Amino acid sequence: MNSRTEGYLYLLGFGLCIPAANWLIGNAGTYCVPDGPCLIPVAPGIMAPSGVLMIGLALVLRDLVQRRLGLRWVTGAILAGAVLSGFFAPPSLVLASVLAFLVSEFADLAVYTPLQERRLVLAVLASSVVGLVIDSLVFLYVAFGSLEFLTGQVIGKGWMVLLALPFIAWLRRRDERLGRAPA
């Protein structure tokens, strides 16, 4: 499979994470707070809104879209993702979803871009950590006026990032072996 085709697949995955996260937060969890999010355990004694898993994955996929398709494509994907986020979010969470998505994804981009060519795994890790913390802070504060689930949000998104890192390392090695350069 060529780099461009991979990029389109990452773009599709990135786009699908958005409605999946919004659906999960309102419909799937071990406990659903009345007029609030559905929660899942992310560590012993720590709960988080269930959409965190997809948001953690989206941050990694955003980096891969940029790696394969370039800065213009990923900028368009972030803007389109914000629209999708607003469209799929429950009415009470639209502003929080859109604002958190825009701010965190552009923060991810700002950290990833200068690091990507020299240290891909570090770039994905660092940019995702920045993005997930910002996403968590903005979303929780705007949506609920509380940072009660901040620890859980960070841990839940962090799990998805950590699970993706072996794939990122494999991708970097494969790209080097095939002589592929980032977009």
State how far the Cα of 75 lies from the Cα of 79, in Å rounded to an integer: 6
Task: Provide the domain count of the chain.
Answer: 1
DSSP for 86-108, please give it. Answer: HHHS-GGGHHHHHHHHHHHHHHH
- What is the pTM (predicted TM-score) of this model? 0.89
The verdict on residue 159 lying in a domain is yes
Please choose, from the candidates 61, 59, 46, the residue with its C-alpha nearest in 3D space to the C-alpha of residue 155: 46
pLDDT per residue, tens digit, the chain (183 aa), is: 888 999 999 999 999 998 898 888 888 999 988 877 889 999 999 998 888 899 999 999 999 999 999 999 999 999 998 998 888 887 878 899 899 999 999 999 999 999 998 899 999 999 999 999 999 999 889 988 989 889 999 999 999 999 999 999 999 999 889 887 776
Nearest-CA neighbor of 51 among 34, 73, 82, 26? 26
Within a domain: 183: no
Classify residue 101: in a domain, yes or no.
yes
Residue span of the structural domain in which 165 resides: 3-178
